[in-house]
Structure 1
Amino acid sequence: MAAAFHLAAGDSAPVQQTSTTCGSASLAVARMLRDPALARWVRDGIRPLGVVADARDPGTPTGRFAAYEQVVAGRTNAALGPGARPQLPWPRALGTPPWGARRELEHGAADPGTPYGVGWLRTRGPAGLAQAHAALRTRVRPGAPALLYVGNAWAPRHVVLVLPSAGGGGPELAVYEPSIGRVVDLDEAAFASRTLRLGGWDVPWLTVQPDPH
């Protein structure tokens, strides 16, 4: 049986393999957390029947992760998205669109049947951002992560994966930071004050998060 793949604050994780695949890397890790067979293929090259049949195997964990990033990008950015559903196509050079990310999570990177929605954050003040952080704490759980888009005052520039923190007594949320391949705490004060410093970017722009409705 394939070993489970877990992440907690302080853990190492795969690094995004191009400058535009932070969203694809975050979605790939989300699926690895839910699919032990995929995680085992990325780590060990053991490909059970039917697992990532459309991804090539360059022979190393880094190469396999890079190949799967491109499989994810092909689903999230194409005119036919995850589940072969029509969607607005998006240039890969501009990263992962929120609508493609939402469908990728619902299609298999989160627990089956978990609906997702997009939450806009850019125009919220500190109190509104603190409320958004609290909402993430109630919605994110094992098997149902969220994506957080961060950037500067003018545009979103980077995507991270929001996870429930496994530690006790500290922040209740963590993020997989694909630019460095680490899991770090998602601090509420930094979130509310727009000083996140995730991938070099500070301002929360939007979330793709489990939708309680």
Structure 2
Amino acid sequence: MTKLFLPSIEVTGRRIGYARVSTADQKLRMQLDALKAARCDRVFKDHGISGGKANRPGLDEALKTLKRGDALVVLKLDRLGRSVQHLSDLLVRLGNEGIHFCSLAEGINTTTPGGKLVYHLFAAFAEFNRDMIRENTVLGLAAAKQRGARVGRPRALAIDEILEGHRHVTQCGIPIGLVAERLEVSHATLTRGFRRAGLCYLN
């Protein structure tokens, strides 16, 4: 049984809860009870949706609802992030927007000094990972050109390549041309891939 940490979440705004289960036959009750005990003002849910999915309607709505001074509350960290990188990027985004975060099972509460330390650790990890991606992308392109590899040839992109390419462009700041070359497609092919996956990209 998950041991809950029910903190005093001192925020000027609202407590917004988020709950998720991966399969249709799993129950949300334990998460909803915990979020109620944490006095959440509103709770968003994703039922039968894997954490690996890029689009989670409940989480998307929760993130749209959050305002500066609010707190996002979950039962466990794995209910929120698809991966450590995704979780790190999300927590950094929340912190930059003045939104607090609380995970009841892990006892993380960014309204406290200890919780702020956890936030800074996630931020440092996210920055380190972005730097590594940039470096690996540049080295990969240089190696490909040295081998005389042909870049920019038309081919279909898999959905995971599209998602990774979009993250490199929008979160890591790598020019779309470099990302397209690394994937061995044209700029236009990668842009079409973003549109096909419903991902926003401002040219």
With the shorter chain as reference, the TM-score category is under 0.3
Larger strand percent: 1
Q: Work out which structure has the larger RCO, using CA pairs closer than 8 Å and 6 or more positions apart in sequence.
A: 1
TM-score (norm 1): 0.26
Larger radius of gyration: 2
